[in-house]
Amino acid sequence: MPAHSEDDEDKPCRACSDFKTWAKSQNKVTFTSPTKQPKPRPKDCPLDKDEIGTSTWAFLHSMASYYPKKPTKKQSEDMARFFNIFAQFYPCEPCALDFQADIKQHPPRTENQDTLAKWLCERHNTVNIKLGKPVFDCTRVHERWRDGWVDGSCD
Ligand SMILES: Cc1cc2nc3c(=O)[nH]c(=O)nc-3n(C[C@H](O)[C@H](O)[C@H](O)COP(=O)(O)OP(=O)(O)OC[C@H]3O[C@@H](n4cnc5c(N)ncnc54)[C@H](O)[C@@H]3O)c2cc1C
C-alpha cells in the first residue's frame, strides 16, 4: 500500500494528473482567451505528474548508471531496499501502485551497474508502453544517462 495520508484523500491530486487536467478539476483558467495561449506559470509551482515523472526518471537512471560495477553485498541489498521503499512513497498514487506491482513481478537486479541500469530501463519501458510512448533501446541506457551519445553530440 502507498503511504499517502488519509487527510489528502478529498483533495484533487496534483501529482497524479497533468497540470491542465488538474487545473480544470479546480475550475482554474489555464488558457487565455481568445487566442488559447497557455497562461504562463511561475517556475516555482508544485510539480504535476509529468514533471515529477521526468525528474524522477532522470535521478533514478543516473543513479543506476553510476551504481558500482562491483557492489558489496550490503550495497546490493541497500539498493534493492531503496527501490522497494521508493515505490511506497512515490507521490503519484496510481503510478506508485502499478510500480509496486511491477517490481513485485520483476524484483530489482542489483548485482552490478549493467544489470541495474537494464532492469530500470525495462521498468521505465513498462510505463512507456502503458502510456503509449515509444520504447527506449536499453542497450543505449548508459549513453543517455552517463556517457553521452556515441555520435559525440553531448561532448
Ligand atoms: C516510477 C514511475 C512510475 C510512473 N507511472 C506513471 C503512470 O502510471 N502514469 C502516468 O501517467 N505517468 C507515470 N509516470 C510518469 C511518466 O513515466 C513520464 O515521466 C511522464 O509521462 C513524462 O513523460 P516524458 O515523455 O516527458 O518522458 P519520460 O518518460 O519522463 O522520460 C524522460 C526521458 O527518459 C528517457 N527514457 C525514456 N524511456 C526510457 C527508458 N526505458 N530507459 C531509460 N531512459 C528512458 C528519454 O530520453 C526521455 O526523454 C511514472 C513515473 C515514474 C518515475
Whole-number average pLDDT of the chain? 90
pLDDT of residue 8: 60
Burial state string for 59-73 with b = 16 or more CB within 10 A and e = fewer than 16: ebbeebbebeeebee
- 36, part of any domain: no
Structural domain includes residue 81: yes
Report which ligand 1 atom has the smallest distance to the Cα of 56: 53
Of 41, 34, 36, 2, the closest CA to residue 18 belongs to: 41
Please tell me the predicted confidence (pLDDT) of residue 33.
Answer: 61
Which pLDDT belongs to residue 69? 98
Q: Is the peptide bond before 42 cis (omega within 30 degrees of 0)?
A: no
21 found inside a domain: no
Question: What residue numbers bound the domain in which 83 lies?
Answer: 49-147
Give the total number of structural domains in the chain. Answer: 1
CA 134–ligand 1 middle distance (angstroms): 10
Residue 7 lies in a domain: no
Residue 109 predicted with pLDDT over 90: yes
Confidence at residue 75, expressed as pLDDT on a 0 to 100 scale: 98
- Cα of 5 to ligand 1 centre, how many Å? 25
Shortest-distance Cα residue to atom 4 of ligand 1:
95
Residue nearest to atom 36 of ligand 1 (CA): 136
Residue 20 pLDDT class (50, 70, 90 cuts): confident
Considering only 22-26, 39-43, 70-74, 85-89, which range has the smallest mean pLDDT?
Answer: 22-26
Kindly state the cell numbers that stand for 96: 506508485
Tell me the CA–centroid distance for residue 126 and ligand 1, in Å: 10
10 in any annotated domain: no
Residue 40 located in a structural domain: no
Mean pLDDT (whole number) for 132-137: 98
Q: Is residue 134 part of a domain?
A: yes
Q: What CATH code is carried by the domain that includes residue 138?
A: 1.20.120.310
Distance from residue 125's CA to the centre of ligand 1 (Å): 8
Contact between 90 and 101 under an 8 Å Cβ cutoff? The reply is: no
Q: What mean pLDDT do residues 13-26 have?
A: 81
pLDDT at 90 over 60: yes
Mean per-residue pLDDT, 107-127 = 98
Q: What is the pLDDT of residues 23-50, one digit of tens each?
A: 777 776 665 566 777 678 899 999 999 9
The pocket around ligand 1, CB under 6 angstroms, is made up of 49-50, 53-54, 56-57, 61, 90, 94-95, 98-99, 121, 124-125, 127-128, 131, 133, 136, 141, 144
pLDDT of 41 reads: 85
